[in-house]
């Protein structure tokens, strides 16, 4: 059963504890109170201000699990705080670990400061949870996929168009890398896992995947320097730095170019293209 008073009080306290800088927002000269405004939290949670305000005022319908997940991310809640939020709203908390899509507050704080850099947060299956605007400009919006296609490895074997963003002479390596990574996850997570389900789907649909899978390769790591082929700026060589949250099996991927190189200049061009696309 929903605890409306407890839920409202908890939401108000978490909103008051967040500063604009914590979520990548400008403070502005006219802010009179500490914490975030309701409309700012509603925007971060991808819901209407009216809906969020009613929750803080102990009114409105019982929020769904999906809504609660959005609120937990928007308020940068820890896993313990997220679970408390779900229980206050009368729901069982989601699972933790490899299947969880709740991004830790620390990872989000870093991500929120990377608006001028291509970056993304991905799950262990290569499902994009967040992208910066520059990340979208570099690879396209990879958060839009649903079902198995959310996994970059699944898309590699089933959607030929995604390969156009990668240098052709790296395709064979990436095929081996994706098959190796998925095999390792199936062993780690077990036969009933989402990783095992993806492997079964690919074994049934992709001859190329079956060939790579039968090699039983393990431990093929991504190259630190990734070579992209962008439809507007052409070839780029970008260094990928990975920050891993082991508790949630999430990775923050940040792509940079060496200053003074052609790729660095193209990345600057890409920032202009991305800004124009947003407008």
Q: Kindly report, residue by residue over 23-50, the tens digit of the pLDDT.
A: 877 777 677 667 888 998 999 999 999 9
Question: How many CB atoms neighbour CB 20 within 10 A?
Answer: 15
For residue 119, list its beta bridge partners.
254
pLDDT grade for 61, boundaries at 50, 70 and 90 = confident
pLDDT given for residue 275 in this prediction: 55
What distance in Å separates the CA atoms of residue 207 and residue 3, rounded to the nearest whole number? Answer: 53
Q: What is the mean pLDDT of residues 96-101?
A: 75
pLDDT grade for 250, boundaries at 50, 70 and 90 = very high
What distance in Å separates the CA atoms of residue 167 and residue 159, rounded to the nearest whole number? Answer: 16
The distance of Cα 239 from the centroid of its chain, to the nearest Å, equals 19
> For residue 47, what are its two tokens?
């819901």
Q: Kindly report, residue by residue over 120-142, the tens digit of the pLDDT.
A: 999 999 999 999 999 999 999 99
What distance in Å separates the CA atoms of residue 23 and residue 39, rounded to the nearest whole number? Answer: 14
Mark residue 240 as left, alpha or beta (left: phi above 0; alpha: psi -120 to 50; beta: remaining): beta
Q: Where are the beta strands (DSSP E) in the chain?
A: 119-122, 128-131, 225-230, 234-245, 250-256
Helix, strand, coil abundance in the chain, percent, nearest 5: 50, 15, 35
What distance in Å separates the CA atoms of residue 77 and residue 69, rounded to the nearest whole number? Answer: 10
What distance in Å separates the CA atoms of residue 275 and residue 279, rounded to the nearest whole number? Answer: 6
Q: What is the mean pLDDT of residues 177-201?
A: 95
What distance in Å separates the CA atoms of residue 176 and residue 101, rounded to the nearest whole number? Answer: 26
């Amino acid at each position: 059963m929903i605890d409306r008073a407890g839920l409202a009080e908890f939401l108000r306290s978490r909103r008051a504890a967040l500063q604009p800088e914590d979520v990548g927002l400008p403070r502005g000269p006219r802010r009179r109170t500490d914490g975030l405004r309701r409309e700012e939290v509603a925007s971060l949670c991808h819901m209407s201000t009216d809906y969020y305000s009613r929750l803080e005022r102990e009114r409105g319908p019982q929020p769904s699990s999906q809504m609660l997940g959005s609120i937990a991310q928007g308020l940068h809640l820890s896993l313990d705080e997220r679970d408390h939020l779900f229980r206050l709203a009368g729901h069982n908390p989601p699972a933790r670990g490899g299947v969880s899509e709740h991004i830790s507050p620390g990872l989000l704080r870093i991500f929120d400061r990377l608006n001028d850099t291509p970056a993304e947060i991905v799950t262990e299956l290569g499902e994009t949870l967040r992208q910066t605007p520059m990340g979208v400009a570099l690879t396209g919006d990879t958060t839009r996929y649903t079902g198995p296609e959310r996994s970059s490895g699944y898309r590699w074997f089933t959607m030929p168009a995604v390969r156009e963003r990668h240098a052709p002479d790296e395709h064979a390596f990436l095929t081996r890398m994706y098959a190796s990574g998925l095999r390792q996850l199936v062993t780690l997570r077990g036969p009933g896992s989402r990783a095992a389900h993806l492997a079964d789907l690919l074994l049934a649909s992709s001859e190329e995947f079956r060939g790579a899978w039968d090699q039983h390769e393990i431990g093929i790591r991504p190259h630190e320097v990734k070579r992209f082929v962008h439809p507007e700026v052409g070839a780029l060589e970008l260094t990928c730095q990975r920050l891993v949250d082991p508790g949630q099996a999430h990775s923050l991927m940040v792509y940079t170019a060496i200053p003074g190189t052609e790729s660095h200049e193209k990345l600057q061009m890409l920032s202009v293209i991305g800004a124009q696309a947003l407008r």
